[in-house]
Amino acid sequence: MKDEGIMIGDTSGTFRPDAPITRAEAAAALLRMLKVAPIQNLTASSFTDVPVTNWAAGYIEAMQKNGYITGYPDGTYKPTVNILRSEFTAIADRTLGREIGNSSQVTGLAGGVVWPDVPTTQWAYLYILEASTPHTVANAVKLDRTIVLTSKTIPLFSDGASAVTIHKVGDVLTAIVPVDGLLPNGSVPAARTVTVAITIKLKP
């Protein structure tokens, strides 16, 4: 994680493995994990207790602008407070695009897992349920898919046998796409192998 620039330690060059993590540190680490740059040269903050001079202000603001954190109802973020497991779960779900919006979507989630200390009235109930659900799909049914480019829509095809991999922003992958039009002899051209870089994440 150090080589990836996700965890960089403190100014004294130590990691402090036994120390709790604060809400500011969590925001910074998650933003680095997403490979999203913090906002530079802030002149105003979205949270009343995060001045623009705070070391994590750019990270926190970027997380807020991307919809990954919301702060508290009183307009604060509490950057120096240790983050709760429920809070971290909610933020992690949002950053992974795994947020669910209402209780009508819980059917089949968590594979029957019931946490005795997480009642349905707990504010993070849906986040915790979502995070407790495996997201590996094996032997996926063969379906047509499309990717939308600036000027056209191109179909992609899955092989129907491989596990589904959830890619993240910044990943580069190989795809096989058909070629528009016909060859001079009237035949259909062979599909081409192209390299695709993921530059934006959309929630399913």
The SS3 of residue 23 is helix
Q: Which residues pair with 154 in a beta bridge?
A: 147
Burial class (CB in 10 A: 0-12, 13-18, 19+), 86: middle
C-beta neighbour count of 60 within 10 angstroms = 28
Positive or negative, the CA dihedral 196, 33, 164, 128 is negative
pLDDT at 125: 87
pLDDT of 204 over the 50 cut: no
- pLDDT reported for residue 141: 53
Question: Which tokens in the block code for residue 200?
Answer: 């934006």
Q: Which is it for strands 153-157 and 144-148: parallel, antiparallel or unpaired?
A: antiparallel
pTM (two decimals): 0.61
Of the two residues 14 and 57, the one the predictor is more confident about is: 57
**Model confidence over 159-187: pLDDT tens digits?**
545 544 555 666 666 666 666 656 666 66
Domain ranges for the chain:
1-83, 99-135, 144-197
16 vs 137, higher pLDDT: 16
Q: Which residues contact 11 (CB under 8 A, 6 or more apart)?
A: none
Q: Please state the rounded mean pLDDT for residues 51-78.
A: 95
pLDDT digits 0-9 by tens, 108-144 = 555 566 789 998 889 998 888 888 876 665 555 555 5
